[in-house]
């Protein structure tokens, strides 16, 4: 991980301002097109091991994503950032900008924090797209003022192509995971680096990974295919546990993974138009409120198309969005004869996965029994 931080630092030293983006789906292409380096601040457990700084600001019932985000910005690592961008992704995140501002202020530091509102209603509703378009225009102006950069439609189109390629490669790589040519653990690792290393570097890595595993053949017949769902992927130790129990992750509905790369909008030089489509047709996510009606069908087809026999929910403790949808989806899966297992990860569980072993083993036995 330190090498990744070094890459970001080096990029910054070359004059590219680094913008830390709050999860989940910030407008990365737009920032990139303006010559900024967007870094999405999630899956940070490997960088900040504990959260002493964030503990001074957040009660223990804030989720681990929020706690790690605050920690990294307030820690020495925060020095790699030139600014922050947040949007209204959830109730917890909306409280963080001012908390971070104070935390930085107490250290005598300051960062521009851009707050973006993405309409949480269907794009067809009066004013929704117009509101978003105006907000995107304002975002361009705010970035120009804060970081001394400029927008051009050509560069924006170019950035869309790069991100489009990255997302297509990730979809391809996920398909290779499904075929059994790459382990999900390795896939998760590669995907995670993409949020930090930048799109160009990530595209290079992905091309290599796709070429490498296209040639590999893995005998997956002895394993039972499953899908995982959640905000973050299961931590490596848990993936190992899952695999040791004879299960194999063949597809995912994880926010940092398929929910992020599942859809690429058609090219559009206008940020308002591009992002209206981006959020409207985005792979459904519990956090994108207007996608709620599509989510259930999407998960069901994912299970069906991947041939999965079960689904493991990696619940982020205190993430209400996810918790409010689990029971319904569990019920529908049950009706279709698909077993599911819900595991809830608290901040410390990322290192203590052994506690989940018995439940995963029992789930694997259940699936094996149903063969």
Which residue, 66 or 250, has its beta carbon nearer to other proteins?
Answer: 66
Is 90 a binder of ligand SF4 (CB under 6 A)?
yes
**Coil, strand or helix: which one is 154?**
helix
Stretch that binds ligand SF4, among 62-70, 101-109, 122-130, 182-190 (CB under 6 A): 62-70
* 50, two tokens: 């504990």
Stretch that binds other proteins, among 88-96, 156-164, 197-205, 247-255 (CB under 8 A): 88-96
CA distance 19 to 40: 8
CA distances (Å), 31 to each of 69, 172, 181, 268, in order? Answer: 19, 25, 34, 15
- Least separation in angstroms between residue 345's CB and ligand SF4 is 10
Largest CA distance in the chain: 62
Asked whether the beta carbons of 229 and 312 are under 8 A apart, the reply is yes
What stretches of the chain show up as alpha helix (H) in DSSP? Answer: 2-13, 28-33, 64-74, 91-106, 128-147, 153-179, 184-197, 199-214, 236-244, 258-261, 271-280, 292-306, 320-335, 357-369
Task: Verify cis geometry, omega within 30 degrees of 0, for the bond prior to 24.
Answer: yes
Asked whether the beta carbons of 81 and 18 are under 8 A apart, the reply is yes
Which of 142, 179, 243, 325 lies at the binding interface for other proteins (CB under 8 A)? 325
CA distance 265 to 127: 21
Which residue, 58 or 347, has its beta carbon nearer to other proteins?
Answer: 58
Q: What, of other proteins, ligand SF4, none, does residue 61 touch, CB below 5 to 8 Å by kind?
A: other proteins
Q: What, of ligand SF4, other proteins, none, does residue 325 touch, CB below 5 to 8 Å by kind?
A: other proteins
Is 341 a binder of ligand SF4 (CB under 6 A)?
no
Beta-carbon count within 10 A of 273 CB: 17
Q: What, of other proteins, ligand SF4, none, does residue 125 touch, CB below 5 to 8 Å by kind?
A: other proteins
Asked whether the beta carbons of 303 and 338 are under 8 A apart, the reply is yes
**Coil, strand or helix: which one is 295?**
helix
Is 286 a binder of other proteins (CB under 8 A)?
yes
Which of 51, 54, 92, 160 lies at the binding interface for ligand SF4 (CB under 6 A)? 92
Which of 93, 136, 226, 360 lies at the binding interface for ligand SF4 (CB under 6 A)? 93
- Least separation in angstroms between residue 252's CB and other proteins is 21
Which residue, 136 or 199, has its beta carbon nearer to other proteins?
Answer: 136
Is 84 a binder of other proteins (CB under 8 A)?
no
CA distance 64 to 51: 9
Which residue, 115 or 155, has its beta carbon nearer to other proteins?
Answer: 115
CA distance 100 to 113: 9
The CA-based angle 259-89-16, given to 5 degrees, is: 80
Stretch that binds other proteins, among 87-95, 143-151, 229-237, 257-265 (CB under 8 A): 87-95
Which of 66, 182, 228, 343 lies at the binding interface for ligand SF4 (CB under 6 A)? 66
* 235, two tokens: 């931590």
Which residue, 193 or 321, has its beta carbon nearer to ligand SF4?
Answer: 321
Which of 289, 298, 300, 366 lies at the binding interface for other proteins (CB under 8 A)? 289
- How many residues contact other proteins, by CB under 8 A? 48
The CA-based angle 52-53-57, given to 5 degrees, is: 110
Is 128 a binder of other proteins (CB under 8 A)?
yes
Q: Which residues bind other proteins (CB under 8 A)?
A: 56-59, 61-62, 66, 88, 90-92, 94-99, 102, 115, 117, 119-121, 125-128, 131, 134, 286, 289-290, 292, 296, 315, 317-318, 320-321, 323-328, 330-331, 344
Interface ranges with ligand SF4 (CB under 6 A): 23, 63, 65-66, 89-90, 92-93, 231, 287, 316, 319, 321
């Amino acid at each position: 991980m330190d090498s990744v931080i070094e890459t970001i630092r080096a990029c910054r030293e070359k004059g590219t301002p680094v913008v830390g983006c709050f999860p989940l789906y910030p407008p990365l292409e737009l920032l990139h097109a303006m010559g900024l380096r967007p870094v999405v601040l999630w899956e940070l457990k490997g960088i900040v091991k504990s959260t002493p700084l964030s503990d001074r600001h957040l009660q223990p019932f804030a989720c681990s994503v929020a706690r790690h985000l605050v920690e990294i910005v307030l820690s020495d690592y925060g020095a790699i950032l030139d600014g922050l961008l947040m949007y209204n992704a959830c109730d917890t995140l909306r409280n963080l900008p001012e908390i971070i501002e104070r935390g930085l202020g107490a250290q005598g530091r300051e960062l521009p924090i851009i707050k973006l509102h993405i309409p949480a209603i269907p794009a067809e509703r009066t004013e929704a797209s117009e509101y978003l378009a105006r907000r995107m225009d304002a975002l361009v102006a705010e970035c120009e003022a804060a970081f001394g950069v400029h927008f051009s439609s050509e560069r924006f189109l170019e950035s869309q192509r790069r991100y489009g390629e990255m997302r297509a490669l990730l979809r391809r790589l996920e398909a290779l995971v499904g075929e059994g040519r790459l382990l999900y653990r390795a896939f998760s690792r590669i995907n995670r680096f993409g949020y930090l290393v930048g799109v160009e570097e990530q595209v290079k890595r992905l091309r290599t990974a796709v070429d490498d595993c296209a040639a590999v053949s893995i005998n997956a017949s002895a394993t039972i295919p499953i899908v995982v769902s959640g905000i973050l992927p299961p931590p490596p130790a848990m993936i190992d546990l899952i695999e040791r129990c004879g299960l194999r992750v063949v597809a995912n509905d994880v926010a940092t993974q398929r929910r992020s790369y599942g859809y690429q909008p058609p090219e559009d030089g206008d940020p308002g138009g591009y992002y209206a489509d981006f959020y409207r047709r985005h792979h459904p996510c519990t956090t994108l409120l207007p996608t709620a009606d599509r989510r259930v069908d999407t998960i069901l087809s994912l299970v069906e198309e991947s041939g999965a026999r079960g689904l493991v929910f990696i619940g982020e403790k205190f993430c209400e969005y996810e918790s409010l949808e689990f029971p319904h989806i569990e019920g529908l899966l049950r009706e279709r004869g698909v077993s599911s297992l819900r595991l809830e990860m608290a901040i410390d569980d990322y290192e203590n996965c052994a506690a989940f072993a018995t439940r995963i083993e029992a789930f694997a036995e259940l699936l094996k029994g149903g063969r």
